[in-house]
Amino acid sequence: MAEIVLFHHALGATAGIRSLAAQFEAAGHRVHVPDLFEGRTFPSIEEGVSYAGEVGFGAILERGRAAVEGLPDELAYVGCSLGVLPAQLLAQTRPGATGAIFLYSCVPPEEFGGEWPADVPVQIHGMANDPYFADEGDLDAARELVSAAPRGELFVYDGDQHYFADPELPSYRPVAAEQVMARMLEMLRSIP
C-alpha cells in the first residue's frame, strides 16, 4: 500500500479529483487531497490558471509544500496538470519520495533544481495531440525526464483532450482512462 498525495488540476478539488482519489483508495492506498485553491473551483482551465496566476504560482507551490508537513517522508506524489507543479517539486526535492505520477503535464527537471532522483520511479501520461501537453513543451519535458530517470515511463495516448481521465468532464475518454488507471495502479503496487 502506498501513501499518496494527489494534487488537483486547474479546475480545483472537483468531484473528478475526488473520484480519482476514491479509485486509489479502493485499491488499498491511503490518499491525501490538498485543496490548493482553498475551496474554489472553476469551470474552465483558463479561469483556474488565471486564479493561480493571481495568487502566484510560487504561492501555489508553497501551499503544496505546506500540505505535506506532518505527513511521512515516504509519499507517492500524483499531480494532475497544474497539480504536477507541486507534485514534481516535492518528488524531486523532498527526501523519501516513493514515486511520482504526472497526468497531462510535466516540466523540465531543472525547474526544481536539477536532475530527477534516480531512486524515484515516475510515470507521465498525456495525449499526443493535446494542445496543452504537446504544444506547450510538456511532452518534450516528459521525454527529457524519462530519458534521465532510471525508472521513468512516458505513456502517450491517441487523442487531443487534456483532462481525459477525469470522469466528470466532457474531455473524458474511458478507454484511455482505464489504461491510465491500470498503469498507475501497477506502478503503485511496486512501491515498497
pLDDT band at 114 (very low <50, low <70, confident <90, very high): confident
Query: Is the pLDDT confidence value at 113 over 90?
Result: no
Query: Domains of the chain, with CATH numbers?
Result: 3-189 (3.40.50.1820)
Q: Is pTM beyond 0.85 here?
A: yes
Query: Is the pLDDT confidence value at 192 over 80?
Result: no
pLDDT score for 186: 97
By the 8 A CB rule, do 87 and 100 touch?
Answer: yes
Cell of 88: 514534481
Give the integer Cα–Cα distance in Å for 173 and 44.
18
Q: For 19-51, write each residue's pLDDT tens digit.
A: 999 999 999 999 999 999 999 999 999 999 999
By the 8 A CB rule, do 152 and 118 touch?
Answer: no
Query: Is the pLDDT confidence value at 191 over 90?
Result: no
